[in-house]
Chains A and B, each alone.
Chain A
Amino acid sequence: MFLELTQEQKLIQETSRDFARAELEPLAAKLDREDDRPAFLANLKKLAELGFMGLNVSAAYGGSEAGAVAFSVAMTEIARACASTAVTVSVNNMVCEVIQAIGSQEQKEAYIPRICSGEYAAGSFALTEAGAGSDPAGMTTTAVQDGDQWVLNGSKIFITSAPYAGVFVVWAITDRDAPRGKGISCFLVEPGAPGLVIGKQEEKTGQHASATCEVIFDDCRIPRDALMGRLNDGFRFAVGELAGGRIGIGSLGLGVGLAAMDFATRYATGRVQFGEKISSFQAIQWMIADAYTELEAARLLLMQAAFRKDAGRSFAKEASMAKMFATEAANRACYSAVQMLGGYGYTRDFPVERYARDARVTTIYEGTNEIQRVIIAREILHSFA
């Protein structure tokens, strides 16, 4: 066992930490309160230039080839300052990785460098539908071939980054008669495609700067070569790529939880009640001990999943465990942080209020934690069969 980051991973951690402190943190509260998309996108561009959009992507396509462990530590550092930025970076990395995994040479060359360089502010991953959340195989969006085009019809919801995405990875049914989950294919859709409509932006509990939109396909026509991977064989990649994304979201949760606890702990060493710093009370000490212990355990689970991914080993179960544990630990840490600040923690004048709102969705998106439990149990039960 060797539980240290490599020199390169440390460098990436430091670079992301420095950038997050200097550029993201000063803006985060403002972006939570009011829309300032140019400022948000400008920071994404800078992060792309620093190599953060394709951390686990080949240099041939503009990626950093730094690996999944480096991706995890970077996500945590970015999320300590701004969860909205972090989720965008996480999804961008996932989109690059899915294109790298199943795209044609032309597709890889056309899209990955543009996301990695920041020419595209973002890529979107369009899987979820109104009636197909935890059950993505229940999707109803269809793609039908018409001459040398595909015609897409249907709609996707909760699509991160839709208004400023340079490319959408879209899943649609291409064989209605196939068994559930079988006749689904994957497409690359550009924002200018006729019949592609970006719907309303959701108003959410948190992560306000990150846009979450409906994406509608109304006889949306895309070229025949927009099909990515093999026909009727897209679904397993949708599910597979989410495993990598889960390392990103777990790491994001960890970052938000750490930010909340760091703030609250510092507060506790300054706040005096009953003539003493509240950090001298055992009740507060236990909150600190519990939260940091859980966050440290989360970090180790994340590192394990990322390490296995980098080593080319199976990591789906480990990624689900890490995502589930880290995001629940993060939510507990955020609520303890609010509690440690008392009434102040409930007001918008202190950042823990935002952290608590931002953390909440991490147990929901990229597969609800209920789905993570299904995956974990299925794999364990399989090994007992």
Chain B
Amino acid sequence: MDFELSQDHKVLRDSIRDFVVKEIKPIAMQIDEEHMIPDALVKRMGEMGFLGSCLPEEYGGAGLDMLSYVILVEEVSKACGSSGVLISAHTSLACGPVYTFGTEEQKRKWLPDLNTGKVIGCFLLTEPDAGSDAGAISTSYRRDGDDFVINGSKIFITNGGYRGTGILFATSDRNLKHKGVSAFIVDLKSPGVEILRNEKKLGIRGSYTTAFAFDNVRIPAENLLGEEGEGFKIAMDTLNGGRIGIASQALGIAEGAFDLALAYSKERKQFGHPICDLQAIQFKLADMYARIETAKLMTYKAACLKESKKSYVMESALCKMIASEAATYVTKEAIQIHGGYGYIVDYEVERMYRDAKITEIYEGTNEVQRVVVSKLLLS
């Protein structure tokens, strides 16, 4: 076992860190306040290869491995959780399934624009009555000549506000449950696609969380992803990979908050000493760091397993669970170390605390991760 990053990964990490410090960190508060990531930053991330990092170069990707992708999301999320999830949802949930399940034609058609960030991708599975129970979706499709016709609605769609390319899940017959679900590649500018709203949220406010209505939306038959009836399997497989991205985001948020809390504890004087001289603060720092290291090891392990094409379902569920709970814990303690200052928006830990909570919820609530883990343990 070798727990060191390779020289290549270190160089990559440092160059991402440079970019983040120069171009994302200074506007992270603005992104939170204005509830959007500036288009210029999205464009820059595309130019830097951030939006197709682990996809092959022949389809416009950067050709990096999974660990590089993890490091990318982690480093970006240290400064801005909203930018981190933009990359993660785009890469894991849109580029990923097109590459894994798409035909050669589909890959050539959709991936270059996605991988270079010309078009932002999203994943349309969740519905008002189908959250953790994704097999219960009611958005329907039917064949009509050379088209499929989609009707229904989707909610909580990360990156939906960009109206780019969506991986949409719909059912031919609700009674078939999982077996009736198929996946489609959809241009979200198509007629009949309506954005109902972008949600107002506790955190990751710069990230769009969009509700859509689909009213007789026609999709060419060639946009079916995989076989008919394979949709649920595609969704679950995609989310397995996506969880590594969310774990990386959570890890980054935790590290960002930890760095700020550590620095603050050295500067802040009370009782005539820096508060880091107090054992209560020292132990908080130790506990926070322990959670971060655990989360990092688990997330890196899941990425390496996926990269080497080994089974990683258990590990992706574990890393998502561990990293997201580390993030809420570490950000909570970071606020506490900042005292009253941690509760006001002038301090970045305030935002990080709000951003962290969603990582326990999206891409499968942590309750669903526990279902995955315990099922594997018991089978």
Contacts and interface: CB of A to CB of B under 8 A. Distances in A.
Interface residues of B, number: 44
Interface centre among B340, B362, B370 (most CB of A within 10 A): B340
A110 interface: no
Interface in A255-296: 272-275, 281, 283-284
A134 B339 contact: yes
A361 B270 CA distance: 20
Contacts of B344: 202-205, 212
Interface stretch (A3-11, A144-152, A216-224, A352-360): A352-360
Given A134-B270, A135-B270, A361-B343, A356 B202 contact: yes
Interface string B327-364: 01000100110011011111000100110011011100
Given A138-B272, A370-B280, A205 B343 contact: yes
Contacts of B365: 339, 342
A14 B362 CA distance: 40
B343 A273 contact: no
Interface centre among A206, A273, A353 (most CB of B within 10 A): A273
Nearest to B339: A133
- Which of the four size classes fits the interface of chain A? 35 or more
A337 to B, nearest CB: 11
B203 interface: yes
Contacts of A177: none
Contacts of A349: 199-200
Contact of B361 (A133, A283, A345, A348): A345
A369 B156 contact: no
Given A138-B270, A365-B340, A370-B280, A356 B357 contact: yes
B343 A204 contact: yes
B201 A346 contact: yes
Nearest to B134: A273
A335 B336 contact: no
Given A204-B343, A363-B336, A339 B366 contact: yes
B357 A346 contact: yes
B126 interface: yes
A128 interface: yes
A131 interface: yes
A242 B202 CA distance: 31
Contacts of A343: 126, 131, 155-156, 361-362
Contact of A283 (B126, B270, B336, B370): B370
A356 B201 CA distance: 12
B228 to A, nearest CB: 24
21 contacts: A203-B344, A203-B346, A204-B343, A205-B354, A212-B344, A272-B129, A273-B136, A274-B132, A275-B133, A275-B136, A284-B367, A338-B202, A339-B366, A343-B156, A345-B361, A346-B361, A360-B353, A361-B343, A364-B342, A368-B336, A370-B280
Given A274-B133, A339-B361, A342-B365, 20 more contacts: A135-B271, A138-B270, A202-B346, A204-B345, A205-B350, A205-B353, A272-B129, A273-B130, A274-B132, A275-B133, A343-B156, A343-B362, A345-B361, A346-B357, A349-B199, A356-B357, A364-B340, A364-B343, A368-B336, A370-B281
- A-B pairs, top 8 by smallest CB distance, nearest first, are A273-B133, A135-B270, A348-B200, A203-B345, A202-B344, A343-B156, A274-B133, A347-B199
